[in-house]
Structure 1
Amino acid sequence: MFHPKSLVVGTLVASTLFAHSLACAQALVLSAAQIQSLGVRFSPVTAAAQLEIGASGRVVLKPDAQYVVAAPYPGMVSRVLVAIGQPVRAGQPLATFASPQLFEAGRALTEARSQANLARQALARDRSLHDDGIIPGSRWQATQARATEAAATVRAREAEMAAAGIVFSGGSGEPQLVAGRAGLIAEVNSMPGTRVDGAAPLFHVVDPTALELDLLVGRDMPAPTGGERVEVRQRGATGQVAGVVPVSDGTAAVRVRAVLDKRGSLQAGESVNAILHLRGAPDATGAGRVGVPPTALTYWRGMPGVFVATKTGVRYQAVVIEAVNEAAATVRGALPAGTRVAVAGVGALKGMLAGAQ
């Protein structure tokens, strides 16, 4: 009587035998004399630590390294107090600024402070009266509420002025736009007497030391991953990959953002050639990234691979091609250090492999 379990066992055995026969079929037993007569020569794979790819790009400022001082209200720039390239410190005046709305905001702040002062006086008076039992608790609670509201109004008006980036000079009380952080003046977009709209950018302050690299890696190169090392040797700069995104122009290239831990002599805006040091650690399938001569690559049953030297001859090993040029090829495969691959006579080995099927 037929039992379903026997079918399962038979299927497993058949699969095992097929895999074994396939592995045997991809191995060729050859003597040293046969290898020599076929013109087969071998070359070792390149160690992963030696894999480097080039990328071109630009030196850019970090997004947080730039700061814009804008007009808080529609108004007029009375005087400009700084010039392009001038270093400034946080809170340093950049220009004097006049605006009806600004003076209205200043008046509202002064009024709020006056009301808060009156509320504090009333609070002190009613506390004493309440303690002496002269006024009821409800009036004491109402006085407390008015004092709290007055203090909150002052904080709101002060926050508005702080967000506007305005201070009033001690002598004349002239309103001044100030820098929100230290840096260099990169742009001045106003002249004395210029009338500007609210939120119009007037000054551009940058930190010239906060740099990163914006690199482009072509489609024929393996894409780096986060944390891999980046180097600009000619400028003494080093860093690491912080992000990789595909380019949306259909070229299959990727953009790489690299943060610098050593700036060297790099300057913002210049174009550079960088070197990416790719890790060769095995991936989830156990395949590591290595370099092989381009002449070692061939195709068998539509899959790329190389012929690996063994004790008894050669064996065909499938690989995944990541990049190829005239000088070298980068592949992923089970090719540990010391592996030798055929770089000549590959066609003859492929013919023998086909004849053995």
Structure 2
Amino acid sequence: MMAPLLSLPARRLSARGLLALAALGAACALLPGCGKSGAEATATPAEPAPPVMQAGQLRFPSGHPQLALLGTVEARAAKDVAVDLPARLVWNEERTQRIYPAFAGRVTTIQADLGQSVKAGAPLALLASPDFGQAQADTAKAQAGQSLAQQSLKRQRELFEAGIIARKDLEQAEADAAGAQAEVARAAARTRLYGSASGVNQQLALSTGIGGVVVERNLNPGQEVRPDQSGPALFVVTDPTSLWVQIDARETDLSSLRPGDPITLQVPAYPGATFTGKVTATADAIDPGTRTIKVRGVVPNADRRLKAEMLATARVQESRAGGVVVPASAIVLDGTRHIVFVRRESGVFEPRKVELAHEGPAEVLVAAGLQPGEAVVNQNALLLARQFQSMAEDTATVKKETP
């Protein structure tokens, strides 16, 4: 028994595809030599002579009506092949900031909400933070110590000039003053990084370091926060006019996904619309489970139609040095083999085993078994395959019954 035959697109048949196959079955039932015995096919003298199998080829007589159903197309040399890859849109991390608390505290005021545009340095929320107050107090203490060290240095210099103290005492005072000044710089830099460097008010502002739009807010008034707490950032600010696209590519696609290469995106939310971008980086390791590699691209989004976490299809043009391209409808799956039907001459067809290098939704790349310019059946190839199978079974039955 021969393996069941499937066309390549039949792996993802839609309702329309099922109706098309039903129509093909009806057409096959009406044609001579397709699923009928020779006696039935020639029962009416007015019908044309049936096709015959000869040397592995199916030969149709001139003018046979089934020839009108078998559309053909020439295999073309592979140059550029459009390849569709699964992708996902995410925030551009080069234009995104996630804000966490530097000190423990309690939220007192929310000053920015989702969707709000903010400028760099703008406060998003205020915390009452005793820990930050301690840092402010340390700064004030360091400033007082510096003032005392400067006064001591002034007295020691006067005493040295009067010859009352030794030089080593003056040098010690100078070192103490320099140390006090360094401590003020350290403490002030710490408090200035997170808020005011003067005064002690325990008010810690959560500020954004970049301009953009608030796209996440994960805190509420009265909430206690800590620097070591797990969970999402308190705020996420980003520039949504530029997005990253994360592409799951196969090993064979890497040659066409170099930094700077163009990509075209399609998203289900906007049927028929395309968005262009370019590849920016490729990962250095392949996922051992999926055998895919992460490729990152950037997509301009000035009108902000695209949203983060949208699923997309990334189309890239792959340059192929060898092989030929044929429509996916020309490929018939016979068990584990891929078959095409080549038109050798008018009305003469033969099956040909081929090896595929890439399968796309509309076209496939044939690596071996087919030459550019050869005509292959791309319309009703499955009908022809079933006719080959039927005639082969009839021939085998006749040979078996012949003594």
User: Normalising by the residue count of structure 1, what TM-score does the alignment of the two structures yield?
Assistant: 0.62
Give yes or no for the alignment of 1:153 onto 2:183. yes
Which residue pairs with 2:82 in the alignment? 52
Contact 1:167 1:176 in 2 (8 A): no
Deviations, residues 118-160 of structure 1 (Å, cap 9, x unaligned): 3344445555665676643322322232122222222322333
Unpaired runs of 5+ in structure 2?
A: 1-57, 61-71, 267-271, 343-353, 378-403
Three-state SS of the structure 1 residue aligned to 2:196 is: strand
Contact 1:296 1:342 in 2 (8 A): no
- Cα distance change, pair 92–264 in 1 and its aligned pair in 2 (3 A): closer
Measured after TM superposition, the shift of residue 81 of structure 1 is: 1.8
Equivalent residue letter for 1:291:
V
Which residue pairs with 2:224 in the alignment? 195
In the TM superposition, structure 1's runs of 4+ consecutive aligned residues that sit over 6 Å from their partners are: 168-173
Cα distance in structure 1, aligned partners of 2:146 and 2:200: 25
Deviations, residues 169-191 of structure 1 (Å, cap 9, x unaligned): 99988443322322222233222
Which residue pairs with 1:82 in the alignment? 112
Give yes or no for the alignment of 1:166 onto 2:198. no
Contact 2:324 2:372 in 1 (8 A): no
1:322 to 313, 338, 357: 357
Which residue pairs with 2:265 in the alignment? 232
1:274 to 292, 296, 313: 313
For 1:15-164, what aligned pairs fall within 5 Å after superposition? 43-49=74-80, 51-123=81-153, 126=156, 135-163=165-193
Equivalent residue letter for 2:79:
A
Equivalent residue letter for 1:237:
F
Equivalent residue letter for 1:269:
A
Three-state SS of the structure 2 residue aligned to 1:145 is: helix
Unpaired runs of 5+ in structure 1?
A: 1-36, 283-287, 308-318, 345-357
Equivalent residue letter for 2:365:
T
Three-state SS of the structure 2 residue aligned to 1:140 is: helix
Equivalent residue letter for 1:58:
R
Deviates more, 1:264-273 or 1:127-136: 127-136
For 1:301-312, what aligned pairs fall within 5 Å after superposition? none
Deviations, residues 196-220 of structure 1 (Å, cap 9, x unaligned): 334444322222223111233479x
Deviations, residues 11-35 of structure 1 (Å, cap 9, x unaligned): xxxxxxxxxxxxxxxxxxxxxxxxx
Three-state SS of the structure 2 residue aligned to 1:278 is: strand
Cα distance in structure 2, aligned partners of 1:326 and 1:71: 49
Cα distance in structure 2, aligned partners of 1:86 and 1:326: 42
Equivalent residue letter for 1:189:
N
Cα distance in structure 1, aligned partners of 2:75 and 2:144: 85
Which residue pairs with 2:23 in the alignment? none
Which residue pairs with 1:291 in the alignment? 325
Equivalent residue letter for 1:59:
L
Measured after TM superposition, the shift of residue 83 of structure 1 is: 1.7
Q: How many residues align?
A: 294
Cα distance in structure 2, aligned partners of 1:263 and 1:80: 28
Give yes or no for the alignment of 1:184 onto 2:213. yes
Which residue pairs with 1:256 in the alignment? 295
Which residue pairs with 2:373 in the alignment? 340
Cα distance in structure 2, aligned partners of 1:205 and 1:260: 18
Deviations, residues 285-333 of structure 1 (Å, cap 9, x unaligned): xxx57634565999xxx9x9xx9xxxxxxxxxxx984313574222568
Measured after TM superposition, the shift of residue 95 of structure 1 is: 2.2
For 1:211-250, what aligned pairs fall within 5 Å after superposition? 211-217=243-249, 222-223=253-254, 224-227=256-259, 228-232=261-265, 235=273, 237-241=275-279, 242-243=281-282, 246-248=286-288, 250=289
- Cα distance change, pair 106–58 in 1 and its aligned pair in 2 (3 A): same
Contact 2:83 2:360 in 1 (8 A): no
Three-state SS of the structure 2 residue aligned to 1:215 is: strand
Contact 2:78 2:320 in 1 (8 A): no
Which residue pairs with 1:310 in the alignment? none
Which residue pairs with 2:240 in the alignment? 208
